[in-house]
């Protein structure tokens, strides 16, 4: 079974609007972390935001916030006030405490395109 | 500047010709790993290393070798490349592997084409 599922292969958003990128995960480990990475067309992987399984509050980093719903096993990324530079691939990833060797398990990604 | 450096950025080769992709980090990180990225599959781990002389297989190790003789370097070796190894490869490192919130720092990627 897929550990990380991103059901939106591609999305469009109008500049200055907010957008939500979906991520669901599957784990039986009570201790885990969830990450979002951005990959622009230049190819590098840029760390955006982290949420721990025991964190009480949803993580926020500037225009990025993580809508963490533990019971539903979802960790959606919300980008507020989209900018043209937000056009990129976005990957959700998970780290499980009991799987130290594999630091991150990635989803298939969502390509976000911001329209001017 | 703290970074993970991979070389080369682009590589085109032929089936069976041995190649090495180098990876070096200047952050004194214990943990290093190689991933390959394929459309629709995200990134999948090839090999990882928790410290010098300690390496182990990830999810897709077949056809690859690694070594970790020094802390900063973690080369990826393809002894006999095949077309199904055409992919985008990333090296990554992290300060430690015990903290859940330690992010991975990625290199800029190596795009490999095997004909």
- pLDDT band for position B115 (50/70/90)? very high
Q: What's chain B's length in residues?
A: 115
Q: What average pLDDT does the segment A71-79 reach?
A: 97
CB contact under 8 A, A43 and B33: no
DSSP chain A: --SEE---SEEEEETTS-EEE--EE----SSEEEEEEEE-TT---EEEEEEETT-SS--EETTEEEEEETTTTEEEEEE-S--GGG-EEEEEEEEETT--SS--EE---EEEEEE-
Confidence label for A100 from pLDDT (cuts 50, 70 and 90): low
Residues B60-73, mean pLDDT to the nearest whole number? 96
Enter the tokens of residue A20.
């939500």
Give the pLDDT confidence score for residue A20 in this predicted structure.
98
Pick the more confident residue, A104 or A103. Answer: A104
Interface mutation vs chain B, best among A33, A42, A104, most B CBs within 10 Å: A104
Residue B102: is its pLDDT beyond 80?
no
Banded pLDDT at B104 (limits 50, 70, 90)? confident
Share of chain B above pLDDT 90, in %: 79
Residue A6 has phi, psi (to 5 degrees) of -120, 110
Q: Which of A5, A45, A59, A64 to mutate to test the interface with B (most CBs of B within 10 A)?
A: A45
pLDDT at A98: 75
Tens of pLDDT, residues A6-37: 999 999 999 999 999 999 999 999 989 999 99
Q: Show residues of chain B in contact with A37, CB under 8 Å.
A: 106
∠ CA A108-A111-A116 to the nearest 5 degrees?
170
């Amino acid at each position: 079974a897929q550990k990380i599922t991103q059901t939106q292969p591609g999305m469009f958003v109008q500049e200055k609007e907010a957008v939500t990128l979906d991520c669901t995960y599957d784990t039986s480990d009570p201790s885990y972390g969830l990450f979002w990475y951005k990959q622009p067309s230049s190819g590098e992987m840029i760390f955006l935001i982290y949420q721990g399984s025991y964190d009480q509050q949803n993580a926020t980093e500037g225009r990025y916030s993580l809508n963490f719903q533990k019971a539903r096993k979802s960790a959606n990324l919300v980008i507020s006030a989209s900018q043209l530079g937000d056009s990129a691939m976005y990957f959700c990833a998970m780290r499980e405490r009991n799987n130290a060797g594999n630091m991150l398990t990635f989803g298939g990604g969502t390509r976000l395109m911001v329209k001017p | 500047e703290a970074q993970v450096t991979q070389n080369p950025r682009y590589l085109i080769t032929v089936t069976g010709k041995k190649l090495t992709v180098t990876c070096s980090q200047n952050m004194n990180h214990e943990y290093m790993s190689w991933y390959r990225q394929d459309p629709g599959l995200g990134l999948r781990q090839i090999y990882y290393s928790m410290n010098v002389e300690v390496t182990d297989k990830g999810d897709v190790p077949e056809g690859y070798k690694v070594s970790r003789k020094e802390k900063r370097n973690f080369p990826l070796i393809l002894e006999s490349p095949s077309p199904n190894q055409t992919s985008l490869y990333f090296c990554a490192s992290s300060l430690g592997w015990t903290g859940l919130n330690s992010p991975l720092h990625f290199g800029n990627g190596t795009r490999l084409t095997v004909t």
